[in-house]
Chains A and B, each alone.
Chain A
Amino acid sequence: MAKIIGAVTTSHVPAIGNAIAKGLQNDPYWRPFFKGWDGVHVWLEKTKPDVAVVVYNDHGLQFFLDKLPTFAVGAAPEYRNADEGWGLPTLPPYRGNTDLSWHMIESLVADEFDITTCQEMAVDHAFTLPLKLMWPNAEACPVMTVPVAVNTVQHPLPTPLRCYKFGRALGRAIESYDKDLKVVVLGTGGLSHQLDGPRAGFINKAFDAMCMEKLVGDPEALTRYSIDDLVEQAGTQGVEVINWLTARAALGGRVSEVHRNYHIPISNTASGIMVLANAA
């Protein structure tokens, strides 16, 4: 049977892609962030996952406002990165696993999550950069992938409680798959940041610390926040922490914290990185 080995949660700021393209990993501004991945690499080397299920939000590469799914699951043999408007070099295509994808889709819908299925799906920086950061030396991403996109662009967004329940259903979907695969679940985005309006540049260190703490031992505490609460406390784009909550919920009950890094700022964002291992 498939087994969820743990979760990796991380920020996904586009500027990371720019820093990688320019080789700025050891630049004084970037070093605290890139060094924050060492602990993730040690864990990946030890656990060697076969599949990454990536919970992220699309920023207007695949989805426009004409048709915007709340939850969308990829079911393609391959996922391609493309120009998001900044002309950055694109990353090589990502291998899918259509058999696993369709199993997850069947399971989720049976579990009353009526997701959108995508047999073609372009993947943006929120999907590609975390995978590149996890395996920086691999030419192409070495694991199979299943993209799971959550709407954080156009309100109403799914509530933290809904995301938690969706994450639980994702966990059941993955672990009921009958092939022996080791699966890591990613939650990307956050932590606190706001790009728009006179409040641009808003960061909330105390709230981020609380979120990271609760994510480990008491994720249900985060389900008591509303989306407006998250906008107020974490910023308009800080709401992306719902992707972290979804990924965490897929792990189930007890987890152990393997690694944590927090750094202010990268670009406009308070960056967080965590590795949570599933209880055996």
Chain B
Amino acid sequence: MGSRPRYAHRDISGTTIFDGVQAQKGYALNKMCYSFNAAENRAAFVADEEAYCRKYGLNAAQRKAIKDRDVLGLIAAGGNVYYLAKFAGIFGLGVQDLGAAQTGMSVEAFKQKLLDAAN
């Protein structure tokens, strides 16, 4: 067997299912983001991002994606969007900002796309 789980998921365009493969890959990253529930941890991250990432043992790809605020990179590195939302919260960003960043749209255009889904 290769690295794919025995129960592989359906291939759905533009979608990464957060399964055991992703959960293992992203464990350190998600654990760091989970710590951002606490305001003092958010402050510690802001004070020294590099040191905070090191403390949680992020790998190079994860550290780079954090540094670049690269949402798709964070997903590819095993990030789960519920935990990443806590990372985004540090910068006052919400899920519509994340959506815009991942689709390459402006936030206004992304919001319009959602409004258009009503029709």
Cβ-defined contact, B95 with A268, below 8 A: yes
Q: Which residues of A contact B117 (CB under 8 A)?
A: 201, 203, 205, 264-265, 270
The 8 Å CB contact of B18, one of A84, A154, A268, is A154
Q: Which residues of B contact A14 (CB under 8 A)?
A: 85, 94-95
List A265-279 residues whose CB lies under 8 Å from chain B.
265, 267-268, 270
Q: Which residues of A contact B94 (CB under 8 A)?
A: 14-15, 267
Cβ-defined contact, B102 with A153, below 8 A: no
What total count of A-B pairs have CB within 8 Å?
135
List A87-138 residues whose CB lies under 8 Å from chain B.
87
| Contacts known (A154-B23, A201-B113); A267 close to B12, Cβ less than 8 A | no
Cβ-defined contact, A194 with B19, below 8 A: no
Q: Which residues of B contact A263 (CB under 8 A)?
A: 118
Q: Which residues of A contact B15 (CB under 8 A)?
A: 194, 196-197, 199, 231, 236
| Contacts known (A155-B9, A197-B15, A267-B96); A83 close to B39, Cβ less than 8 A | yes
Cβ-defined contact, B19 with A200, below 8 A: no
Category for how many chain A residues contact B: 35 or more
The 8 Å CB contact of B13, one of A199, A200, A267, A270, is A199
Q: Which residues of B contact A61 (CB under 8 A)?
A: 37
Tell me, yes or no, whether A42 is within 8 Å of chain B by CB.
no
| Contacts known (A60-B34, A83-B37, A85-B36); A195 close to B85, Cβ less than 8 A | yes
Cβ-defined contact, B86 with A200, below 8 A: no
Q: Which residues of B contact A156 (CB under 8 A)?
A: 7, 19
Cβ-defined contact, A155 with B102, below 8 A: no
Residues of B within 8 Å of A, CB-based: how many?
A: 47
Cβ-defined contact, A83 with B80, below 8 A: no
Write the chain B residue with the least CB distance to A235: B15
The digit string for B1-42, where 1 denotes a CB below 8 A from any CB of A, is 000000101101111111110010001001101101111001
Q: Which residues of B contact A198 (CB under 8 A)?
A: 13-14, 72, 102-103
| Contacts known (A155-B19, A195-B98); A201 close to B103, Cβ less than 8 A | yes
The digit string for A58-72, where 1 denotes a CB below 8 A from any CB of B, is 011100111000000
Q: Which residues of A contact B18 (CB under 8 A)?
A: 153-155, 236
Q: Which residues of A contact B114 (CB under 8 A)?
A: 201, 203, 264-265, 268
| Contacts known (A195-B98, A264-B117, A265-B114); A59 close to B82, Cβ less than 8 A | yes
Task: Quote the shortest CB–CB distance from A159 to chain B (angstroms).
Answer: 12
The digit string for B70-86, where 1 denotes a CB below 8 A from any CB of A, is 00100100001111111
Tell me, yes or no, whether B110 is within 8 Å of chain A by CB.
yes
Tell me, yes or no, whether A213 is within 8 Å of chain B by CB.
no
The 8 Å CB contact of A153, one of B13, B20, B80, B90, is B80
Task: Return 5 A-B CB contacts under 8 Å, by A number.
Answer: A197-B14, A197-B16, A197-B102, A198-B14, A267-B96
Q: Which residues in B have some Cβ–Cβ distance to A below 8 Å? A: 7, 9-10, 12-20, 23, 27, 30-31, 33-34, 36-39, 42, 72, 75, 80-86, 89-90, 94-96, 98-99, 102-103, 110, 113-115, 117-118
| Additional A-B contact list (11), CB under 8 Å, known A195-B95, A197-B75, A265-B117 | A59-B85, A60-B33, A86-B89, A153-B82, A154-B20, A201-B103, A201-B114, A236-B17, A264-B118, A265-B118, A268-B96
